[in-house]
Structure 1
Amino acid sequence: MEQWVESFKAMYLNLNADNVEQLKQWYGVDATFVDPFHSVSGIDAIVHYFAAMYENVESIHFDYKWQMSNDDGTVIGWVMTFTHKKINGGKPVSVDGVSHIRIEQGKVIYHRDFFDGASMLYEQLPVLGSMIRFLKKRMAA
């Protein structure tokens, strides 16, 4: 299992808009992928979602921090750093996150990413980002 997870993580380090079809080697036909923005089921929907997501990403990198596995799957902690021409003026954005994956017969059947979508996207937008950061500071005070 541990070697499979290491290979899975390596696949994500090399994933880009030109090779999202390789997800079909890793995910089951009826797999589900969930993140703070979407929930998609079925390998074709997952590939389509990643293709659309990676279409405008200029660069993306995962720095894996830790992982734990048990009978219910594996949880991987990471920091994702990406650049997108329409987010944060094209400058890098880093987001802490966690992925929970469940594997059956060598394929992912469930993958859920947990991260702060507001810090990833909304806080990077010029006007909305300023308002969100202001509200966060007020709530923390």
Structure 2
Amino acid sequence: MNAFSTLSFSLLLTLLLTACSSTPKGPYGYTDRYQQALTSAPSGHPVDSATIDRFIAFFNPLDANTVPTQIDTIYADPLYFNDTLVTLTQRDELAAHLQATAEGLNSMSLTVNHIIKDGSDVYLRWVMEARFSLLGSERLSYTIGISQLRFNAQGQVIFQQDFWDSSQGVDQHLPVIGPMTRWLREHD
């Protein structure tokens, strides 16, 4: 590493560590939004396996051609959606987010390993596989996560909170951010 790279990395690391060293005064980002949405969202309705299978199929694979044609049957409007990257409350915002995600990736799919039904909440434990091009080469990312879902009487998702660590997935492949998150993970 040359002197400029070392200095740049040191300055960036110092900035990040300084930013992380103080305790912010609430609200605490998506944690507060999740807690509020969890208590204010309508109770979900119990769903059958076909409804859950339809939801899973929507993401297998996530396809830019099917997002606009299927979003209305999968998601209600309004809704609560948080995938740890964005929090959205309108179906058209979610459609735009999913469309951009599908167009930005070579492919993305979920393998659901376990389904838990707890009253009106459904939890899916999954592995996401994403393929994308970065700096002229294809990258593959595997990430584990859990989605908490609530459905309305029509079988549409009214509440979705994804729990996953983006630094273990796509972020680790990004220039500057990737090496930094890998270094921090190895030195915690």
Q: Same fold (TM over 0.5)?
A: yes
Question: Does residue 81 of structure 2 align to residue 33 of structure 1?
Answer: yes
Deviates more, 1:1-10 or 1:56-65: 1-10
Output the amino acid matched with 2:163.
F
Question: Does residue 145 of structure 2 align to residue 97 of structure 1?
Answer: yes
> What residue ranges of structure 2 are gaps of 5+ in the alignment?
1-47
Question: Does residue 165 of structure 2 align to residue 116 of structure 1?
Answer: yes
The 5-angstrom pairing of residues 1-141 of structure 1 reads 1-21=48-68, 22-86=70-134, 89-105=137-153, 106-139=155-188
CA gap of 1:87–1:31, structure 2 versus 1, over 3 A, is farther
Deviation at 1:82, TM superposition (A): 0.9
Output the amino acid matched with 1:30.
P
| Structure 1 or 2: more strand by fraction | 1
- 2:110 is paired with a residue whose SS is strand
- 1:9 is paired with a residue whose SS is helix
Output the amino acid matched with 2:170.
L
Distance 1:97 1:88 in 2: 28
Deviates more, 1:39-48 or 1:12-21: 12-21
User: What is the CA RMSD across the aligned residues, in angstroms?
Assistant: 1.8
Cα-to-partner distance string for 1:4-54 (whole Å, 9 max, x where unaligned): 112221222143011111111111111121011100111111111111111
| % identical equivalent positions | 23
Deviation at 1:88, TM superposition (A): 9.8
Distance 1:11 1:81 in 2: 14
Report if the CA contact (8 A) 2:129-2:142 is conserved.
yes
Report if the CA contact (8 A) 2:147-2:163 is conserved.
yes
Output the amino acid matched with 2:160.
H
Q: Which runs of 4+ in 1 moved over 2 A?
A: 86-89
> What residue ranges of structure 1 are gaps of 5+ in the alignment?
none
Larger radius of gyration: 2
Report if the CA contact (8 A) 2:62-2:107 is conserved.
no
Output the amino acid matched with 2:176.
V
Deviates more, 1:122-131 or 1:34-43: 122-131
CA gap of 1:8–1:128, structure 2 versus 1, over 3 A, is closer
**Matched residue count:** 139
Distance 2:183 2:136 in 1: 17
Deviates more, 1:63-72 or 1:127-136: 127-136
CA gap of 1:82–1:12, structure 2 versus 1, over 3 A, is same
